[in-house]
Structure 1
């Protein structure tokens, strides 16, 4: 069994008095979180909940109106944030060039932080039943505030199925955004694992910008997901961003921030829709095979100059993560394989030759066996082949460079 995780977002409808209570509670939670963060920073990054609780619990209970359960939540919130930052630093070591002009990587940990992590927005984490619960026949939410409980109306539009489909509700986060209140609730559900013995179909997916994705399946069929509209819209975002940056005014900076948020929401929506389409097309018991694009750079010579930054900034990892969790829900899986030579290998004779790929015409033409193919389709074919190797037991499948007929 595998445990699925989701987040449902409920819109809350507090009256004026309730909104003030929620804001006061969130600000107090934020204040204590910053105190805990400073303590962790000053005491050698001790992230043990027991140690933090031992040193700060009694002090907080004496000076704060937050109840016992919420104070414990503050400790867990801050500790979890530091652990996340630590993981991110471990995944991205410091890199520099030595005197011999070689890249050197130095591992990083929390001691690299120059100042404690700051919680800049009011926030609150609420434990189910202790701090929030559904009452009045699931028509209202009863929620803890400073010193009392209150009932609020809410809407679950778009998330109704999660209340009736064996999902378990967990800790929730109270969010205040542009004058509106939301409750983000983490939910979990156990489903059957992906079974490699269940004769799954294998789909290789080549990601890019000209085509957002090119898929090649076990039946030899290819699907292309056009990215031209995406490129044009990104170009438009870029033009607006450059205009605002050239002004440099306070108003322009605010508009830049809003533009960045809008672009991020749009990118997220594109990746959600693309991953949902792939899941719907191929269905359960499918092995989706992707290239591991960590630290991979792209050839951008065939892109217009204004859009060459798009390859660096497009969220390939986001599409990967969306596809991964959607696949789990239907007993499918995602596996990542080495990207080496996937755009250079001839699927007919096995020759690996860089010059066989012609970027200007988007074609692969093997000079040894004369096999011709669209270059994006070829990439998806080779990725699908590596998926077959993985399914047959090869732990880290990759293409070996052959320069003569195989």
Structure 2
């Protein structure tokens, strides 16, 4: 399982200038390569390298830096093509899609740049790195991270690391290949109902209320509007200083919630069943005041956190179809739109059971998760092995004794 570890670089003034100029240099080169690729119809990486590699080397980039720059550009066009094919940029002829297809991809001056082990080496004991720059190799460049991050880097770091600049601070994002824990056979499933009023509600009774986070988002929204309306240089500095603060706060809350859910599942030897909410923003139609709330709902991030924490702990995880889970009675299975009286109340029109709506939905999700796990378990045996087992377990036809003796006599 791949996880990333982000460490903060602590350069001195000279080192900071060298790293900053390197990022600007490689991204200017990436913009030039992107223009060449666009003019030539975005050829394959090998062909693009024939048209650009020599020029990049002559401009002062090292061999590995030039290769990574070309590959970064080609990967960007691959992602763009995939988004166009998936329809994420609109239909053919739409304004957004036409705008994207009519010009080459551009890279910001502080965009991330990949480094491999030839351009970057780690000294874990001293917590320093040696890194290639456009003005030469920098050695003894310090980095800061927690003890757990350092242990993960020392034991599991593999592949490339990305150098980025964010708000004047440099970071290295390293890829680590962490082994997954062996999954156990779950004793039941914990269903998790995701929402906005209640961020997560489990079938075991845990409810993570979203009131605090929603109020925090509203407060941040009012403050941003106030500063934007003011428009003074001081207000713009405050806006820049507060950027991504709400995002970090929401991510921290999602980490806390996901850790509680996975810990409870591991403690009770249960699995986790999550809703597959992909495409919900395209399906749901809301009034304008509600759109900001829907689009700031970080359900995918919470699901991702639960996913990777469960894989590291060996907790089984399944995704289920969320259709009608809020309208289905967890006791009798009756489906009726009127069962959901309001946001918090569920009253079955058939059996009369009264329950919290999110808790009832989480129980339905848990039942679907157990059914999905059972179906998957039955289909895990390879086809050849399953056929052999079927043949082995099939009773052979019983031949009467007299018929057997007559056959033997005839053969003799």
Q: Which category of TM-score, normalised to the shorter sequence, fits these structures?
A: 0.7 to 0.9
Q: Distance in 1 between matches of 2:172 and 2:323?
A: 44
Distance 1:139 1:90, change over 3 A: same
Whichever structure has more strand as a proportion of its residues is 1
After superposition, residues 118-133 of structure 1 pair within 5 angstroms as: 118-123=106-111, 125-133=113-121
2:164 corresponds to which of 143, 167, 175: 175
Whether the 8 Å contact between 1:10 and 1:183 is mirrored in structure 2 is yes
Of 348, 373, 376 in structure 1, the residue corresponding to residue 355 of structure 2 is 373
Number of equivalences: 371
Cα distance in 2 for partners of 1:250, 1:113 equals 36
Between the aligned partners of 1:286 and 1:75, the Cα distance in structure 2 is 47
SS at match of 2:104: coil
Match of 1:400 in 2: none
| CA-CA distance at 1:161 after TM superposition | 2.2
Q: Residue 389 in 1 paired to residue 364 in 2?
A: no
**Residue from 77, 94, 98 that aligns with 1:82:** 77
Write the mapping of 1:144-155 to structure 2, written as runs, cut at 5 A. Answer: 144-146=132-134, 148-151=136-139, 152-155=141-144
Q: Given the superposition, is the C-alpha separation of residues 224 and 105 from structure 1 closer, same or farther in structure 2, using an over 3 Å criterion?
A: farther
What are the residue-to-residue correspondences of 1:199-348 with 2, within 5 Å? Answer: 199-216=186-203, 221-247=204-230, 252=235, 255-256=238-239, 258-283=241-266, 286-296=270-280, 309-348=292-331
Structure 1: runs of 5+ lacking an equivalent: 97-103, 396-406
Are the counterparts in 2 of residues 45 and 110 from structure 1 also a CA contact under 8 Å? no
Aligned: 1:66 with 2:61? yes
Residues 29 and 122 in structure 1, CA contact (< 8 A), matched pair in contact too:
no
Moved more, 244-253 or 386-395: 244-253
How many Å separate the matches in 1 of 2:126 and 2:193?
45
1:33-71 deviations in Å (ceiling 9; x for gaps): 11111122222233x321221221112112x22210111
Q: 1:205 to 1:94 in 2, by over 3 A?
A: same
Q: CA deviation at 1:382?
A: 0.9
Mark the structure with the bigger radius of gyration: 2
Q: 1:8, CA displacement in angstroms?
A: 1.4
1:161 aligns with 2:151: yes
Asked whether the 8 Å contact 1:25–1:124 carries over to 2, the reply is no
Tell me, yes or no, if the aligned pair for 2:124 and 2:150 is still in contact at 8 Å.
no
Instruction: Give the TM-score normalised by the residue count of structure 2.
Output: 0.80
RMSD over equivalenced CA pairs, Å? 3.1
Aligned to 1:15: 12
Shift, 1:72, TM fit: 0.5
Where 1:142 maps in the other structure, the secondary structure is strand
Contact conserved, 1:123 with 1:173, CA < 8 A, in 2? no
CA contact (8 A) 2:53 2:66 kept: yes
Note the C-alpha offset of 1:25: 1.6
Q: Which has the higher helix share?
A: 2
Q: TM-score, normalised by structure 1?
A: 0.81
The answer as to 2:23 corresponding to 1:26 is: yes
Instruction: Using the TM superposition, name which of 306-315 and 362-371 deviates more.
Output: 306-315
Question: What do residues 52-107 of structure 1 show as CA deviations (whole Å, max 9, x unaligned)?
Answer: 21221112112x222101111111222222223333344444668xxxxxxx999x
Aligned equivalents of 1:25 and 1:309: distance in 2?
Answer: 38
Q: Mark the CA change 1:234 to 1:127 in structure 2 (over 3 Å): closer, same or farther.
A: closer
2: CA distance, partners of 1:205 / 1:384: 7
Runs of 4+ residues over 6 Å off in structure 1? 108-111
> Runs of 5+ in structure 2 lacking a partner?
378-412
**How far is 1:114 from its partner?**
2.7
More divergent stretch after superposition (21-30 vs 234-243): 234-243
Structure 1 range deviating more: 240-249 or 116-125: 240-249
CA positional deviation for 1:143: 1.3
